[in-house]
Amino acid sequence: MAARRLSRRQKHILSWLAVDHQRTNGMIRNSHQNLGRALPGDQANLSHSLQTLAARGLIALGRSLGGKAESLWLTPEGQKWASHLAGSCDEGENDVAAMGFNA
């Protein structure tokens, strides 16, 4: 797999979803609105970041009948990446890069 970068925003999204997944034992799918409220900074690129993570298979997006992102959750692959990102904060970013992403 070619190395790909995760933006700081994408890392925050994965981390937030991982914590939520652990808190709820994976039973609740969180909303786009909750994520927007939880993350600091500019919300303008949130949808783009979510679409990118979904295209990479790291998250899944549930959509309303109108096509808006209504719920989101980590895929098994996303759970794996989120755990490596959490470890990279303490141990350096080599683990993440070794898995194909540049931190």
The pLDDT tens digits of the residues spanning 53-73 come to: 999 999 988 888 888 777 888
Residue 96 pLDDT greater than 60, yes or no: no
Cα of first residue to Cα of last residue in the chain, in angstroms, is 15
**Per-range mean pLDDT, top range of 61-65, 75-79, 81-85:** 75-79
Comparing 39 with 89, the larger pLDDT belongs to 39
pTM above 0.75, yes or no: no
Choose among 88, 39, 32, 33: nearest CA to 60: 32
Assigned CATH for 4-102: 1.10.10.10
Q: What is the mean pLDDT of residues 72-85?
A: 87
Side-chain-facing half-sphere of 46: CA atoms under 13 Å: 20
pLDDT for residue 58: 93
Token pair recorded at residue 36: 């927007």
Q: Are 84 and 95 in contact (CB under 8 A)?
A: yes
